[in-house]
Structure 1
Amino acid sequence: MVKTGAASNKSQGNKNEQKKLKTSDGSKRKKVVRRNSQGDKENLPECVQKTNGPKRKREPLEPTSNISDHYPKKKRAVSTKSELYSMSNRPLGYCLIVNNFNFEGTLQLRNRTGTDKDKDDLTRVFEKMAFKVEVRDDLQASDIQNVLKEFAERDHSQMDAFACCILSHGEKGSVLGIDGKPVPIRELTNLFANCHTLVNKPKLFFIQACQGNEAQQGVWMADGQENTTEERTFEEDSHTATSHSVPIEADFLIGIATVEYHKAFRHKTDGSIFIQELCNQLESGCPRKEDIHSILTKVNSIVSSKILQGHKQMPEVRYTLTKALVLPMK
């Protein structure tokens, strides 16, 4: 009986202790709840304390575009090497000049007087740009194809570019041999599109030839804008138009003296207006490290501003260059 009474007393004591613990925990929780319900300001954080003053008027949100950036922006590192064609090799590349003067074997085409001035100036300028210049005079249509094929098959691995200047009569999308037969410009450029040692290197073609028989008319301009007048004698590098086109592959630039269907003009002694202005702008722009696109834009602007025998001439540049091209100049 004694043992039983002791066990019962012990169990009763455990129950009382558990009840005390529950009571103490519950009282604490009640106190915490009571304090919060009373809104004791001393125990509340500042951000939730109530104020008896007037409510602050909410101002409209400011556009994010007007908010200054407190964090300095990182400048993007520009790698000029990846954005410019390499022009470090010497010689820089071959420059082929096809100079067709003598068209006496044809019935409707005259000799191209003044073309030797273009040839001499192109030779001087491209040699100053570190090109190795080679001139071919008075080529028939088949000869033009053969000589360009010869250059396309050469090893250009130790060079950075190729240039070709063709001075002749022409028609839409083609140049003419001295036999009067057309050579599509597309066929000539395709030869170099397949040249493995010129892959990813600029291939430049400058063509002085008409692209049709139409004379380009001027348009009225606003007061204060004037055209440069040309009263000297010019001839046309023209022929009948056909349906050839001039598509090009990657890393090509083709500068043509005039847009399709129209005539290009050449002075009898001073050379063609397009080639002469091209030489002028290369000599002035290359030493200032201007890229070829900027230079040819100036050529377009100056040539198109002139009046030639009462007509206009608008050069055209087509290119698929994938980098900026800055040609060197000695």
Structure 2
Amino acid sequence: MDETGHVSNNDQISQATKNEQNKGKASDESQRKKAVRKKSQVDKENLHQSVSILPKRKRKPLKSNSNISDHYPKKKHAVTKQNEFYSMSKRPCGYCLIINNYNFEGPSLKNRKGTDKDKDSLTRVFENMFFKVEVRADLRASDMQNVIKEFAERDHSELNAFVCCILSHGEKGSVLGIDGKQVPIHELTQPFAECRKLASKPKLFFIQACQGNEAQQGVWMADGQESTTEDKTFEEDAYIPASHSDFLIGMATVEQYQSFRHTEDGSIYIQELCKQLEIGCPRKEDMHSILTRVNRAVSSQIIQRSNKQMPEVRYTLTKKLVLPMKQTSS
């Protein structure tokens, strides 16, 4: 610029050159950025294509860790199973009292021929189930009550269970001593309900006695039902309340009806009971299943051409009961 304030031609040319150079630089920078963006876009497209060309990998199913998946369920199942069954691990397992009334006083009650067969069968079976069997024979009513009290007062702390088998004449709700006097069934079970050392342990009663004087009549059945006992000689042989917990009471017959005993072969009920115990216990079957088969087998027989007998089981068990059985060589 000269002194008069005018811009010289040289200055104008220099300024124009600078402007052109700045425009060129801006244009180059713009071109460079476009090139970078284009390259980035191309790289992304190539990467996507290369990924899509790769085959998809098959996902393998997850393998369970056997140490974990097997351990915890088994442990939980074992605890549950243990809580469902009564413990029967003690040896001896418990006492088994057999009251066997054969010789009755007075003319009104006949001697119970065949009862010794039942006593022998019960002794064999319960000894094989690790019970300590004791037999008391021909007891009057007061003697029956005394022996029950004696066994209830024994030390059962190291035992698992108690069994009582009563073979006698009976009436509704009671069994008879050889003197003909009644002993109510609840008076036989009550002392064991009060026995603290048998608390939460199974207490089993099996009663072979009538519960009344009526005879159950047979009914018509489909062809194929055969009687294998109708030609044998039978005699009449009783209401049993299962009070409190952990009792099982197997009765030879339902209330008001007679039960039958063969004069040589023993009673239908006790013989079938022993048979099914010897079959079911080695298989680890529970008592409910075994006694259901006893009911079915006894009730299917026809006695003296027209009579029937229907056993009954009453129980207040709180767990499954599986009785042990010695393995006998065949």
Fold match by TM threshold 0.5: yes
Aligned to 2:324: 328
Aligned to 1:314: 310
Does the CA contact (< 8 Å) of 2:242 and 2:315 recur in 1? no
| Cα distance per residue 1:4-51 (max 9 Å; x no partner) | xxxxxxxxxxxxxxxxxxxxxxxxxxxxxxxxxxxxxxxxxxxxxxxx
Aligned to 2:21: none
Aligned to 1:115: 115
Does the CA contact (< 8 Å) of 2:152 and 2:195 recur in 1? yes
Distance 2:81 2:318 in 1: 13
> What's the TM-score, normalizing by structure 1?
0.73
Aligned to 1:100: 101
Give the AA of the match of 2:318: T
Aligned to 2:66: none
Structure 1 position 261, deviation (Å): 0.4
Structure 1 position 228, deviation (Å): 3.4
Distance 1:320 1:133 in 2: 24
| Cα distance per residue 1:180-218 (max 9 Å; x no partner) | 001001111011000000000000000000000000012
Structure 1 position 80, deviation (Å): 1.3
Distance 1:200 1:159 in 2: 12
- 1:46-195 → structure 2 map (5 Å cutoff): 77-78=76-77, 79-103=80-104, 105-195=105-195
Identity of aligned residues (%): 70
Whether 1:298 aligns to 2:293 is yes
Does the CA contact (< 8 Å) of 1:169 and 1:210 recur in 2? yes
CA 1:82–1:269: 2 relative to 1, 3 Å: same
1:133 partner SS: strand
Structure 1 position 81, deviation (Å): 0.8
Distance 1:120 1:200 in 2: 30
Whether 1:281 aligns to 2:276 is yes
Give the AA of the match of 1:174: S
Does the CA contact (< 8 Å) of 2:287 and 2:323 recur in 1? yes
Does the CA contact (< 8 Å) of 1:192 and 1:198 recur in 2? yes
Structure 1 position 249, deviation (Å): 1.3
Give the AA of the match of 1:326: V
State the number of aligned residues: 251
| Cα distance per residue 1:144-184 (max 9 Å; x no partner) | 00000000001100000000000000011110000000100
> What's the TM-score, normalizing by structure 2?
0.73
Q: Which has more radius of gyration?
A: 2
Does the CA contact (< 8 Å) of 1:227 and 1:305 recur in 2? no
RMSD after superposition? 1.7
Aligned to 1:213: 213
Distance 1:262 1:227 in 2: 23
Does the CA contact (< 8 Å) of 1:101 and 1:115 recur in 2? yes
Range with greater deviation from structure 2 (196-205 or 228-237): 228-237
Does the CA contact (< 8 Å) of 2:115 and 2:266 recur in 1? yes
CA 1:151–1:268: 2 relative to 1, 3 Å: same
Aligned to 1:249: 244
Structure 1 position 229, deviation (Å): 3.7
Distance 1:99 1:106 in 2: 18
